[in-house]
Amino acid sequence: MVSQGSGVNARLLERARRLAAESHERSDWEELMVFRRGSSLLAFRPDSWGEVVRLKGYTPIPTLPPHVAGVFNLRGSIVPLLDLSYPLKIEAPGPLRVAMVTLNRHGQFGIGFDSLEGTMRVPREDVTETPPDHPLEGMAGDVMIVRMEALAL
């Protein structure tokens, strides 16, 4: 009598090998979450991804620097909202419509955009890096990869 467990084990072992091979292939790729602000595409690496919410409005605060669009209410919490069009010097007409809510050493904040375009995968070799003091980590074609550490409230 042949145990069904041995067939299951063989299938699981084959699946593990296949997943390991795919994981190795994926290490040669960058996965990015891409947003649009004006005509520009801005991307973030997975370690900075956060919740994406549709903005139902936000309150500008006149005394804040121009890259701080204001604040918005997120389930009872007041969250600062950044507009990257100012520090990155990109043309961005119109109000912010969606925000990616994330955390850094200063706490929770939102980054506003016109829209979420989705995720994309690009070969690592196609990403051009920038100097460490630059607000962008690099470029993937016409997509700007934002350096989260460079964002200040």
Q: What is the pLDDT of residue 3?
A: 47
Q: How close are the terminal C-alpha atoms of the chain, in Å?
A: 69
The correct CATH number of 29-150 out of 2.40.30.10, 1.10.10.10, 2.40.50.180, 3.20.20.110 is 2.40.50.180
Is residue 125 pLDDT above 80, yes or no? Answer: yes
Q: What is the pLDDT of residue 25?
A: 53
Higher pLDDT: 122 or 6? It is 122
For 8-37, the pLDDT digits (tens) are: 667 777 777 776 665 545 578 889 999 999
- Both tokens assigned to 121: 């995968």
The domain locations on the chain are 29-150
As beta bridge partners, residue 34 has 43, 118
Q: List Cβ neighbours of 152 (8 Å cut-off, separation of 6 or more).
A: 106
Nearest partner of 96 among 57, 44, 51, 151, judged by Cα: 57
